[in-house]
Structure 1
Amino acid sequence: MIDTLTSLRFIFATMVFGAHCYVIDGFFDAHFFKEGFVGVSFFFVLSGFIIAYNYQKRLQDKKITKRTFWVARIARIYPLHWLTLFLAAISGGYVVASGVLDWFGHFLTSLTLTNAYIPEAGYFFSFNSPSWSLCCEQLFYICFPFLVPLARDWRRLLGVSGLAAALIVAGMYFTPENDIKGYWYVNPVTRLPDFLVGMLLFRLYERLKDRNIGRLQGSLLEIGSVALFLAFYFGAAEIPKVYRYSCFYWLPVAAVLISFSLQKGMLSRILSNRLLVAGGEISYSFYLIHLFILLSYAEWQKETGGHIAWYIAVPLLFCVVIGLSLLSYRYFEKPMNKRVKSLLNR
Structure 2
Amino acid sequence: MTITRPGAQPDSRPGAQDRSRLPSLTGLRAVAGLSVFITHGLALGLFIDPAVLMQYVRYGANAGMFGLSFFFVLTGFVVTWTASSQDRAWLFWRRRFFKLFPNHVVVYLIILALWIPTGVPIKALEALAGLLLISAWFPSEPFLFGNLNGPMWSANIDVLAYAAFPLLYVLVKKIRPNRLWAWAIGVTALSALVPFVANAFLPDQPPSLVAPEVSWPQHWFGFYFPLTRALEFVVGIIMARIVLTGRWIGLGALPATLLTAGYYLATLDVPVFYGYTFVPLIPMALLIPAFAMADVRGRRTLASSRLMVWLGERMYAFFVIHVTVMFMVHASFSGENGVVGMYTRTTFGLGTGILVLIATYLLCLVLAAILYALVEQPVMRRWSRPRQRDDRRNPAGPLPDVASGRAS
Same fold (TM over 0.5): yes
Any residues of structure 2 matched to 1:74-223 within 5 Å, and which? 74-92=97-115, 103-125=123-145, 126-154=147-175, 158=183, 161=187, 164-165=190-191, 167-174=193-200, 175=202, 176=204, 177-179=214-216, 180-208=218-246, 221-223=252-254
Following superposition, the deviation at residue 268 of structure 1 comes to 4.4
Greater than 4 Å deviation, 4+ residue runs? 93-98, 242-245, 264-268, 304-308, 342-346
Q: Name the TM-score, length of structure 2 as normaliser.
A: 0.73
3-state secondary structure, aligned to 1:18: helix
Aligned to 2:23: 3
RMSD, aligned α-carbons = 3.1
Residues 1:285 and 2:313 aligned together: no
Residues 1:320 and 2:363 aligned together: yes
Q: Distance in 2 between matches of 1:254 and 1:152?
A: 18
Following superposition, the deviation at residue 266 of structure 1 comes to 11
Residue type of the alignment partner of 1:202:
A
Following superposition, the deviation at residue 318 of structure 1 comes to 1.2
Following superposition, the deviation at residue 252 of structure 1 comes to 0.8
Please say if residues 70 and 284 of structure 2, whose CA atoms lie closer than 8 Å, have aligned partners that are also in contact: yes
Q: 1:162 to 1:9 in 2, by over 3 A?
A: closer
Residue type of the alignment partner of 2:240:
F
Of 11, 19, 41, 2:69 maps to 41
Please say if residues 185 and 191 of structure 1, whose CA atoms lie closer than 8 Å, have aligned partners that are also in contact: yes
Q: Name the TM-score, length of structure 1 as normaliser.
A: 0.85
Please say if residues 209 and 262 of structure 1, whose CA atoms lie closer than 8 Å, have aligned partners that are also in contact: no
Q: 1:109 to 1:95 in 2, by over 3 A?
A: farther
Q: Distance in 2 between matches of 1:229 and 1:17?
A: 19
Please say if residues 222 and 275 of structure 2, whose CA atoms lie closer than 8 Å, have aligned partners that are also in contact: no
Following superposition, the deviation at residue 161 of structure 1 comes to 2.7
Q: 1:269 to 1:185 in 2, by over 3 A?
A: same
**What runs of 5+ residues in structure 1 fail to find an aligned partner?**
none
Q: 1:64 to 1:267 in 2, by over 3 A?
A: closer
Please say if residues 236 and 244 of structure 1, whose CA atoms lie closer than 8 Å, have aligned partners that are also in contact: no
Residue type of the alignment partner of 1:53:
W
What are the superposed Cα offsets for residues 237-288 of structure 1, whole Å, 9 maximum, x if unpaired? 3324357642112211111111111116998422211010010000001111
Residues 1:338 and 2:381 aligned together: yes
Q: Distance in 2 between matches of 1:45 and 1:184?
A: 17
Residues 1:32 and 2:59 aligned together: yes
Percent sequence identity over aligned pairs? 22
Please say if residues 107 and 320 of structure 2, whose CA atoms lie closer than 8 Å, have aligned partners that are also in contact: yes
Please say if residues 95 and 122 of structure 1, whose CA atoms lie closer than 8 Å, have aligned partners that are also in contact: no
Residues 1:276 and 2:308 aligned together: yes
Aligned pairs, number: 331
Q: 1:75 to 1:233 in 2, by over 3 A?
A: same
Q: Distance in 2 between matches of 1:33 and 1:234?
A: 10
What are the superposed Cα offsets for residues 183-231 of structure 1, whole Å, 9 maximum, x if unpaired? 22121111111001101110111134899x7xxxx6xx22322222122
Residue type of the alignment partner of 1:299:
A
Residue type of the alignment partner of 1:185:
F
Any residues of structure 2 matched to 1:237-248 within 5 Å, and which? 237-241=268-272, 245-248=276-279
Q: Which stretch has the larger CA shift, 272-281 or 228-237?
A: 228-237
Residue type of the alignment partner of 1:11:
V
Q: Distance in 1 between matches of 2:324 and 2:299?
A: 33
Aligned to 1:250: 281
Q: Distance in 1 between matches of 2:153 and 2:112?
A: 15
Residue type of the alignment partner of 1:229:
T
Which one has the largest radius of gyration? 2
Q: 1:297 to 1:162 in 2, by over 3 A?
A: closer
Residues 1:224 and 2:252 aligned together: no
**What runs of 5+ residues in structure 2 fail to find an aligned partner?**
4-21, 205-213, 337-343, 391-408
Q: 1:210 to 1:137 in 2, by over 3 A?
A: closer
Q: Distance in 2 between matches of 1:289 and 1:67?
A: 28
What are the superposed Cα offsets for residues 143-186 of structure 1, whole Å, 9 maximum, x if unpaired? 00011221113357718736743652542442541223322212
Q: Distance in 1 between matches of 2:228 and 2:220?
A: 10
Following superposition, the deviation at residue 111 of structure 1 comes to 1.4
